[in-house]
Structure 1
Amino acid sequence: MKRSAPNCFNVIHDSTASRRYPSNGFRAFASACTSTVLGVGWRPDPSRPFEGNPVPEATPIRGESTVGQLFSRIPRGLILVFAALVLLLLAGSVIAPSSVSRGALLGMLPFAAVLAIAGLGQTLVVQQGGIDLSVPGAISVTIVISTHQANGQDSRLFPALMMALGVVIVAGLINGFLISRRGLNPIIATLGMNALLYAVVLGLSGGIPRGTTALAAKIAGRLTFGIPNSVYFAVAATVLVTVISKKTVAGRRFEAVGANPTAARAAGLRAKRHGMAAYVWAMILYWLAGALLAGILSQPTAYQGDAYLLSSVAAVVLGGTSLLGGKGYPIATVLSAVFLAQLGQFVLALGVSTAIRTLVEAAALAVGVGLHTIDWTAVRKRLFRTDSQVEPSVVHTGA
């Protein structure tokens, strides 16, 4: 039997109204009255407004302007790093024009690409609340295996790279097991793994560098359409990490586990598995960075990865990824890597000593961290708040 439409008068006296109508109280009464007065299934005709009935005008709500809403959707770290990079390029064009010449930029971009890829790996680890200090060992062991095992022969390059990939994946699994499963401190575990990887480096090379193969130099060191090939690898890695972490269910779960492992476990997510996966995928990205670096340099040293220990962490922090875990910003990390590489190029063009260069980079990192502590939400609301507010009014369309 079809239930009749509720009447606004009997709803008041119906003691079961709160059960039959989820929006009980006044909302149930208003809904029933609407059905009684207008009829069940009635829909207004937008082309024919009520005659003689008041039509309220839309009242804009006081708040942020369109520009403010647009900026609120962009990660804060991305805005800050982009602004810093633009300012650095402008300062370089005025103070040290040689640092922004075409030759200088083409020389900087390959190393920025390597740092960006290493920074992406570090971002994955930091998202899980950890930190990876085995970056230098992973990059160096990839370089040594790919150069010494290939021994200058192109036909042996691919097997050497696969051997290096196997070594770093095992290292990532050990890191993930010790940290995620056994609860070891990330600094201690990854620092110990870095020492083990350097033991492999010294055992294979004896500290003696060896030249790269012609194929590796062609793949990583050449230009395509006027852009270094390593930049294309960095862009591909950035797109892959960004799409997976931001546009897939697995990526959202990964961020949720990093933000709150306890709540993630309560929701049925396997937090330990995500932690292990972070270290393994990070090692794969370090392997890619090392393989590219081996091709960029004609004769890389056994300690070539040392420069990427703190710089990879700096790129992550400047990009706005919290060291406590949670959301990561791969694009901001990549821009931070470009900023750090260009900053080194700028300081080098000034002709200062290595010590001063280190101090400048440390100061830039300190300023970047300080900027991230500012409550930019409150600042943005003050800058882009619309002060005008239309008072509510009623317009009569007829008598």
Structure 2
Amino acid sequence: MTSDEDVAPATTKVARSRSRGELFRSSRGILLATILLFVLSGIVEPESLSRSALSGMLPFAAILALVALGQTLVIQQGGIDLSVPGVVSLSGVIISYYSNSQGGPNSSAFGLAIVYVIGAALVSGAINGLLVSRARVAPIVATIGMNALLYGLDVEISGGTPVAVPDLLSHFANSKIFGVTTLAYVAVIVACLVIFIVKKTVFGRRFEAVGASPRAARAAGVVSGRYQILAYAGASVLYAMGGVLLAGLMSLPSAFQGDSYLMPSIAAVVLGGTSLFGGKGNLAATVIAALFLTQLQQLVLTTGLSVGVQYLFQGGAIVVGVGVY
């Protein structure tokens, strides 16, 4: 006879196998689309796959992946975050201005600027989460209001005048390891960490359960509001990370550098297969979708087509996603 102890490990293995199978199936569509896009790029415009073109594309794909991961966390909770541009832009302004606020750039000023960036991201994200979960403010209203507030701080700090980031950050953002941009490694490491937390921990399982059905989660004794607040706060930290790396990549960041990251972050989530109504999300597919969208932009630029083509595709992806779910 087979004991319960013998059955339990087998059941666990089956569950893990099914989980991996579901992850692969939900990623298969965007993975195939990305492969086809690269094949098409090679046929239509081989220059878009040149070494220099890929070297220029990958850092921006990595930054979009970080921002889209944050957006995925929020959308998994049935929300949406329109404060992405404000957080990305303010993070670049803080890191450039406060790193130079103590008589010139130095390591202590840079470290303090990082603390300010993280603090601003956590506070803005937590306020968004509180407004949505406690005050029952619609996510669109709460986050677009926060975005306006962040842009106000942005202009107040910078005065609209760009300041160069420290050489330390610029060198890191523009460096390569084995010929691949350092930012790609950062994006992969952060993605693996976020995926592990969401998919392999008790916290992550409760997080997805709250997103799927807050009422059922509350009935099971889970405090749903707590997870919504953490989703917005964690997402803002990821936006801020992307903003800091983008500032380092640009060396002289614009006070409005985050303007181009709102629509792509939502489109990447939708293309990655995460439901806009909350629940389980495919974070790995979101990262692949970020690569897809960045290469699409690269192809549009190298072929000389209007950037409107890219925006039409992003908008179409969101519309299709809403229709499917």
- The alignment's TM-score, normalised by the length of structure 2, stands at 0.89
The residue type paired with residue 270 of structure 2 is V
The residue type paired with residue 220 of structure 1 is A
Per-residue deviation, 1:234: 0.5
- Distance in 2, Cα, partners of 1:140 & 1:368: 29
- Distance in 2, Cα, partners of 1:197 & 1:367: 28
- Distance in 2, Cα, partners of 1:349 & 1:274: 43
Contact 1:318 1:368 in 2 (8 A): no
Task: From the CA coordinates, give the structure whose radius of gyration is larger.
Answer: 1
- Distance in 1, Cα, partners of 2:153 & 2:19: 50
Q: Say which of 175, 179, 182 aligns to 1:229.
A: 182
- The alignment's TM-score, normalised by the length of structure 1, stands at 0.73
- Partner residue in 2 for 1:347: 300
- Distance in 1, Cα, partners of 2:200 & 2:20: 20
Per-residue deviation, 1:282: 0.6
- The change in CA–CA distance for 1:70 and 1:272 in structure 2 (over 3 A counts) is closer
- Distance in 1, Cα, partners of 2:241 & 2:180: 18
SS at 2:82 equivalent: coil
Contiguous gaps of at least 5 residues in structure 2? 2-17
Per-residue deviation, 1:339: 0.2
Q: Say which of 82, 93, 99 aligns to 2:31.
A: 82
Range moving further from structure 2, 321-330 or 152-161: 152-161
- The change in CA–CA distance for 1:284 and 1:366 in structure 2 (over 3 A counts) is closer
Report the structure, 1 or 2, having the larger helix content. 2
Q: Deviations over 1:138-196 (max 9, x none)?
A: 01110001001112613221211111111111111111111111111000000000000
Alignment of 1:154-303 (within 5 A): 154-155=106-107, 156-303=109-256
- The change in CA–CA distance for 1:70 and 1:239 in structure 2 (over 3 A counts) is closer
Alignment of 1:1-399 (within 5 A): 73-151=22-100, 153-155=105-107, 156-363=109-316, 365=317, 369=321, 373=324
Q: Deviations over 1:292-315 (max 9, x none)?
A: 111111211000001111111111
The residue type paired with residue 351 of structure 1 is G
Contiguous gaps of at least 5 residues in structure 1? 1-40, 42-68, 375-399
- Distance in 2, Cα, partners of 1:267 & 1:243: 23
Per-residue deviation, 1:357: 3.6
- Distance in 2, Cα, partners of 1:163 & 1:190: 20
The residue type paired with residue 94 of structure 1 is I
Contact 2:267 2:314 in 1 (8 A): no
- Partner residue in 1 for 2:4: none
- Partner residue in 2 for 1:15: none
Per-residue deviation, 1:368: 6.0
Aligned length: 305
Q: What percentage of residue pairs aligned between the two structures are identical? A: 48
- Distance in 1, Cα, partners of 2:205 & 2:267: 24
